[in-house]
Structure 1
Amino acid sequence: MVYDIKWIIPKLRNPTKFWKFASSITFAAVGIFSKFILEWLNKTKIYNKHIITRALDCRPRNVPLITISNHHSCFDDPGIWATLDLRHLINRRVIRWSLAAHDICFTNVWHSYFFMLGKCVPVLRGEGVYQESMNFCIEKLSSGEWVHVFPEGKVNMLKENTRLKWGVGRLILESPVTPLVIPIYHLGMDDVLPNEPPYMIKTHKKVTMNYGDPIDFSEMLKELRSAKANEIDARKAITDRIQEELLRLRSVTEKLHLQS
């Protein structure tokens, strides 16, 4: 039986004051817990944190933010954001929206409410780039908000160089204002929460978090529009560029991880 999630996006579009309060409590609780796990119980090194801090503090109000990262563990989100300053981590107005697999995070009403309060948006595997969750994220980008994407589309347990999903290409292509795009690569998160049973949080593990330089898509978008490229080719070109940057960042991060 497939759990019906059609009600979720409309509810996320119209939050009440109580919903916003409950969401703030959720972010504070999960954020502080995750920060304790990563920065107190494990050995986490963060590189180029100033990049994300500057993006959250200094980008113009109308400029949206998209972050992209590899996906090695179910702890990646919230684990990645545990490296943020606490003032960002617990601020529901600042923190990201995140695309999350509906068949993992939205399997029943209680799970759905929890992840909704954490600003997670259900994405349906196999439904393509024009599903409602993608439309919702474009709405948020139109408001200058922050959306995070795991473009591998799954937990990449074998750490293979797989082709990235084109959904992120659509987000960048159709955002009314060219977004600030920041790549992130991390290693060790699957040691903190392994992908094998019994799925217990581990301690004293080494985690490396590396924020890459922002990717400027303004020139590429200009060229694609001038050439009147069709949407499929445009999404592919954008996603290929992201893949190149993530691979480059992976190489750098692997060296840092070995040194730490």
Structure 2
Amino acid sequence: MDDLLLWGCLKWRNTVQPAKVRWITAANDICFTKWSHALFFSLGRVVPIIRGDGVYQRSMDFIIEKINNGDWTHIFPEGRVNIDKSFIRFKWGVGRLVAEAKKIPVVLPMYHVGMDDILPNNKPYVPRIRKKVTLLIGQPMEFTEDVELMRLMKKTPTEIRKYITDKIQDEIYKLKEKAERLHVESFQEQV
């Protein structure tokens, strides 16, 4: 469902050309439990992540390859569905994807509010219509200078991953606060 929101912001030609469609990570134990699900998600350029296998699993290597090819990749940095909307520390694999790419990618942070009104996170999982969603897209984040400086300072890969992840997390949580405020304000105006 998140993809439908994002694709709704793109020009049609960017959603039907396979070379321009994003790669995305998803939990192996949710999206790849049945053969039919695995086929469906694989055809949609979804890469299975095995929870608990850490930042050096094969799927993360694959996503770095895609970044190195200049492909668009999309991740959910919390590593799980945040049903209660609480603070969840971002996974350090986020920082690895940036730090270990041959050409440091630009990160485009985004946050949305209201998708769980369209597709609830509890049963019955039936999409609903005429619900309101707020999508806020932040400023592009560039990390080339940060990574180069940290390497010159002889920082460990773990320190670099943590630094990048923390910066992205801080930016997304700023977007979260703003998106939630805009969502409430916009909804109140319509009542």
Same fold (TM over 0.5): yes
Report the AA paired with residue 173 of structure 1. Answer: A
CA RMSD of aligned residues (A): 1.1
Structure 1 counterpart of 2:6, from 75, 80, 92: 80
Q: Is the 8 A contact 1:82 1:89 kept in 2?
A: no
Could you tell me the TM-score, scaled by structure 2's length? 0.94
C-alpha distance in 2, partners of 1:146/1:155? 22
Q: Higher relative contact order by CA 8 Å / sep ≥ 6: 1 or 2?
A: 1
What SS does the aligned partner of 1:209 have? strand
Q: Give a deviation string over 1:176-226, Cα, whole Å, max 9, x none.
A: 001011001000000000011111111111101111100111221121111
C-alpha distance in 2, partners of 1:127/1:183? 25
Structure 2 counterpart of 1:228, from 154, 164, 182: 154
More deviation, 128-137/210-219:
210-219
Which residue does the alignment assign to 1:92? 18
C-alpha distance in 2, partners of 1:242/1:186? 16
Query: Which structure has the highest strand share of the two?
Result: 1
Which residue does the alignment assign to 2:189? none
Could you tell me the TM-score, scaled by structure 1's length? 0.69
Change (3 A) 1:216 1:145: same
> Between Structure 1 and Structure 2, how many residues are aligned?
186
Report the AA paired with residue 81 of structure 1. Answer: W
- Any residues of structure 2 matched to 1:91-240 within 5 Å, and which? 91-240=17-166
Q: Is the 8 A contact 1:89 1:95 kept in 2?
A: yes
> How much has 1:255 moved relative to structure 2?
2.1
C-alpha distance in 1, partners of 2:15/2:65? 22
Q: Which stretches in structure 2 are left out of the alignment for 5+ residues?
A: 187-191
Q: Which stretches in structure 1 are left out of the alignment for 5+ residues?
A: 1-74
Which residue does the alignment assign to 1:4? none
C-alpha distance in 2, partners of 1:78/1:155? 17
